[in-house]
Structure 1
Amino acid sequence: MLPIYYINLDSRPDRRAFMEAQLASLGLEGTRVSAATPADLTPEEVALYCDGRKPRYLRCKELACSLSHERVWKRMVTAGNRWALVLEDDAELSPLLPNFLESLGNFDTDLIRLEATGPTIRVFPPIANIVGIGLRPFRSTPMGSAGYVLSNRAAKLLVGHPAFRQRQTDLALYNPFDEPGASIRRVQAVPGLCQQLGSMRPDKLSIGRSDIAPVDEPHLYAKEHPLRYRLGRLREGLTEGWRNARDHFASKKQGLTRMSIPFADGTWTGSDLIPRPPAARRNGGPSAG
């Protein structure tokens, strides 16, 4: 079984107990990695990446989230892990997860996103089916980094990458157009094998609720230069929209479609089987982007 790491704030022993109990109930063992907090950021990091007077910036808690994931990637590289499962401490795990992890074998990719999504994402037809779980290359940038399997090659690429000082963790990790996401072979598990609790489970509200107080970090640049800020956002939106539209229509020939990723809870009975490839695709599968 591949190594499992879960990120946990020192101030949240309840979440630690939640994750340990979940893993134990599934016959799994995880290694806790202490999460970074805004208090761990150096004054230099705050000045460089979290300054609201700049056109683009990260909130301190967003940068701390990326640094937390980076701590896991560094441990993977140091330990020489070929693969590892990375979890956040509010991830609800599917009962299908152990069998999936045990059956991965030599499947060749860089990242397997395990998280279920409410909003639809753009996916290609499945390129593999492991114990009823389809693995689909995807072209969206889904929100959420609660659970993913990562290769050692990808971990080495991600450690210290400047994108994680400029964009939120998931926006840098899954973006199919910009680095480092563009260089990572990524697939989405269908159905999802974990989901963030948030407010989805009334009986787990205390676990799902973050205890990092929402700090008022106003974007001073937007307030001081409203017209310049809005024009910049409009220009970025038009550029990204045109790029996404061109990519979408070009990729439809490879079977690209939109779907919502369900969570494989204890009642899941479906599967994401590999369909017979049409003639147009017999000479080559889709690119993960």
Structure 2
Amino acid sequence: MRVLIINMAAATDRMAFMAAQMRHFGFDWERIEAVTPATLTPPAADPVWHRWQRPLRVTEMALCASHMAAWRRVLVLDAPCLVLEDDAVLASGLPGFLQSVDELGGVEHISLETRGRKKLVARVPHPGVPIRRLWQDRTGSAAYVVTPAGARKLLRHAATVGGPSDAIISATYDMASYQADPAQAIQLDQCAAYGVPQAIPTTSLIDVVRKPAAMDGYSTLRRYGFRRRRIMAQIRMGLRQVLRVFTASRRHIVPAADWPEIYVKTLDAKGTD
């Protein structure tokens, strides 16, 4: 399975870490140039970025656009791909997991990560592979498998309502989404919480831009739109839980037991192995 790594050119330490993981696992991979606020298309003023449930940081817009670039690449390759942000830490068993799901029918997206929040997943796991139907996620877009069919649905959703990448994925309800259980990836900032070796220090590239002051500078009509969409999204999530009360439950997905210790000694951020 091809691996697509979203990386900002300036983040050489992260790219070196990801390249080290790719060499360790022997993955076939390529780098996706991350969109930055300076290269964001459409620009931040475009209406598509103001149709979410709240005002977005320009860095959130850029990350969403970066994932959209990865989804378009999935369509070009016309095959399932593993999409990674450049702070994803990968479990030792990931190659075997990917092999087991590579040709699995009826699956369009598999979240590989866990991040300390419960997810609404099927009570009964898949009979053949260690995944569960994922009915509602809330956070995390650092590591997932997506098929061309899933990529089309994600692009269609994001093109009309630009939002945080993880929220776009979580709210694409017409996509057949699953959760790896146990989780096969976490982000670097979760290593301490889960007792996983952390190769490099990390800081959030989203948080380098301050969160927009609540509704400041927006018209009354646009502020109403944000609030209405927020309320409707909460109602949809609540209904999904109620409708699946007998077949799904909210649970914390535990991470896999084994994680390789990969330490970066050189900063080689060149594109593709």
Q: Shared topology, TM-score over 0.5?
A: yes
Equivalent residue runs for 1:6-155 within 5 Å: 6-41=5-40, 45-49=43-47, 56-80=54-78, 82-108=79-105, 109-124=107-122, 125-130=124-129, 133=130, 135-155=131-151
2:250 aligned with 1:252:
no
Change (3 A) 1:153 1:239: closer
Q: Which residue of 2 aligns with 1:280?
A: none
Equivalent residue runs for 1:87-236 within 5 Å: 87-108=84-105, 109-124=107-122, 125-130=124-129, 133=130, 135-159=131-155, 161-162=157-158, 165-175=161-171, 181-198=172-189, 200-201=191-192, 204=198, 206-211=200-205, 214-216=208-210, 218-219=212-213, 221-222=215-216, 233=227
Q: Unaligned 5+ residue runs, structure 1?
A: 176-180, 268-289
After TM superposition, give the deviation of residue 103 of structure 1 in Å: 2.1
| Alpha-carbon contact 1:88-1:145 (below 8 Å) kept | yes
Q: Which has the higher contact order (CA 8 A, sep 6+)?
A: 2
Q: For residue 153 of structure 1, give the secondary structure of its aligned residue in structure 2.
A: helix
What amino acid maps onto 1:249 in structure 2? V
After TM superposition, give the deviation of residue 120 of structure 1 in Å: 1.0
Deviations 1:234-264 (A, max 9, x none): x6665544444443232122x2111101111
Identity of aligned residues (%): 29
Q: Distance in 2 between matches of 1:231 and 1:22?
A: 43
| Alpha-carbon contact 2:64-2:164 (below 8 Å) kept | yes
Q: Distance in 2 between matches of 1:232 and 1:213?
A: 21
Q: Unaligned 5+ residue runs, structure 2?
A: 260-273
What amino acid maps onto 1:17 in structure 2? A
After TM superposition, give the deviation of residue 88 of structure 1 in Å: 0.5
| Alpha-carbon contact 2:80-2:102 (below 8 Å) kept | no
What amino acid maps onto 1:127 in structure 2? H
Q: Which residue of 1 aligns with 2:254?
A: 262
Change (3 A) 1:236 1:38: closer
After TM superposition, give the deviation of residue 61 of structure 1 in Å: 0.4
Deviations 1:138-194 (A, max 9, x none): 22232010100000112223336445753211111112xxxxx12100000101100
Q: For residue 10 of structure 2, give the secondary structure of its aligned residue in structure 1.
A: coil
Deviations 1:88-137 (A, max 9, x none): 1100000010011122242121001101231111111212342xx2x111
State the superposition RMSD in angstroms. Answer: 3.1
Change (3 A) 1:232 1:259: same
Q: For residue 36 of structure 1, give the secondary structure of its aligned residue in structure 2.
A: coil
Q: Distance in 1 between matches of 2:133 and 2:119?
A: 11
Q: Which residue of 1 aligns with 2:265?
A: none
Q: For residue 62 of structure 2, give the secondary structure of its aligned residue in structure 1.
A: helix
Q: For residue 215 of structure 1, give the secondary structure of its aligned residue in structure 2.
A: coil
TM-score by length of 2: 0.80
After TM superposition, give the deviation of residue 24 of structure 1 in Å: 1.4
TM-score by length of 1: 0.76
